[in-house]
Structure 1
Amino acid sequence: MIQETLDFFGRAICHQLDERSLHVSGLALSVCARDTGIYIGIFSTLLYLHIFKRKSNLTIPTIKISFLLLLFMCPLMIDGLGSYTHLFQSNNVRRLVSGICFGFVLPYFLYPLFLGRSLDQSSEPVIQKRMDVWVPLLGSSILGGLFYYGILPYYLLDSFIIFTIIVWFSLCASFLIPFIKRTYYKGVISIFISLFFLSCLSLLHAWLVQFL
């Protein structure tokens, strides 16, 4: 039952090809190595920002920093494009690393908007010192190693990724209901929207695989 649930939500955002997924204790994770890296990166940066920045008035990074962050996203685009067009052969290490580089960048742009104070004149760029980048990146690297070498139990690692996917989609869903001000109700409704959306994607994926 647990495995079916994890695979169900993993199917919403991933092709779940066995040879492109990391294996722990002989079992493939519910999302591929590239998506695993993306959500490891997202989790690390979200956790860092929520612990150290949630009480600050934040706005998105400066133009210069934003450009540097976007460079971190290039490896995934190059690796993904080259792999899917058969220009070169990729592997799970490359998929995992490029996914981490891509994923850890995203919260820097979304989290300040989520706090709702990015337009305040007193707001500060979310990245102000080097540790604001290197700590999440280091955390992502450590988590990536735990996943790649399967140091922790399979269900713990797989549940961690699916949990992060649901949290990320819930965060995105919160922008659809700006009229709800109370944090508790907004969080609950965002989670329901996220679960509904992911469920629809998963069912659509299953239908397409079966009938196409």
Structure 2
Amino acid sequence: MDEIFDFFGKAVCHQIAERTFLASGRVLSVCARDTGIYLGIFSTLTYLCLFKKRPSMTIPSVKISMILLIFMLPLMIDGLGSYLHLFESSNLKRIVTGISFGMVLPYFLYPLLNVKAIESTSTPVITHSLDVLIPLVLSSALGGLVFFGVLPYLMIDGLIIVTIIGWFSLIASFVFSKIIIKRIKWAFSIMGSILFLTFLSILHQILIKG
């Protein structure tokens, strides 16, 4: 199982050991920043799938979108500053900024799965502060458990890899949007996601060896 997790983690992450958390004494398959990003994505997607299933739902309003974009700034600042050696980052900063960034993404992608998303009468996905607060609390709680090494390796790494595949499957579903039968559409989306991640992982390994 470790090899499978590591293989798919390699598709999206540099996997630098010192920038990665440990769980049950084992290194996770993605770095602290990517761990935060996918915990954020998982938390928001879970909330939206459970409580936001209206067919006439669309992306957040312009005002709310601007606020959400502010949530994404810390990762950009921390990542760029660290890359340019302007300041030192830490795994705590990486997971916090990753969560802040990742939890925002589903608000802009998930509503577009609805056929009526572009209609002017559609309701924005965020209508109450709880629509943001609940995913934020959930992702922060998960991040805290990871940071303090409370969660077992198989649970947290499995959650991250499933979220990675699920997120890329959601993106791939737009390619197969013309397929009417949902089961077939999602089967193709998942297979497409796995194939794409496999390609990225193999490419990563080739570039490292090269």
TM-score interval, normalised by the smaller of the two chains: over 0.9
Would you identify which runs of 4 or more consecutive aligned residues in structure 1 move more than 3 Å? none
- CA deviations on 1:28-79 (whole Å, 9 max, x unpaired) are 1000000000000001100111111113411111111000000000000000
- Give the structure 1 partner of residue 160 of structure 2: 161
Which runs of structure 2 are paired with 1:24-63 in the superposition (5 Å)?
A: 24-63=23-62
Summarize the alignment of residues 190-201 of structure 1 with structure 2, pairs less than 5 Å apart.
Answer: 190-201=189-200
Aligned position for 1:177: 176
Matches for 1:1-212 after TM superposition, within 5 Å: 2-211=1-210
Matches of 2:143 and 2:116 in 1, distance apart? 32
Give the Cα separation in 2 of the matches to 1:40 and 1:115.
24
Q: C-alpha separation between the residues in 1 aligned to 2:120 and 2:101?
A: 30
TM-score (norm 1): 0.97
* Percentage of pairs with the same residue: 56
Distance in 2, matches of 1:26 and 1:50, equals 33
When normalised by structure 2's length, the TM-score is: 0.98
SS of aligned partner of 2:180? coil
Separation (CA, whole Å) in 1 of partners of 2:117 and 2:78:
33
Shift of 1:121: 3.6
The CA deviation at 1:130 is: 0.5
Shift of 1:115: 2.2
Q: Which one is further off, 90-99 or 151-160?
A: 151-160
Question: Is there any run of 5+ residues in structure 1 with no aligned partner, and where?
Answer: none
SS in 1 for 2:173: helix
Cα RMSD after superposing both structures: 0.9
Q: Deviations over 1:157-197 (max 9, x none)?
A: 11110000000000000011121011111111000000000
Amino acid at match of 1:53: K
Amino acid at match of 2:66: F
**Whole-Å separation in 2 of the counterparts to 1:92 and 1:116:** 40
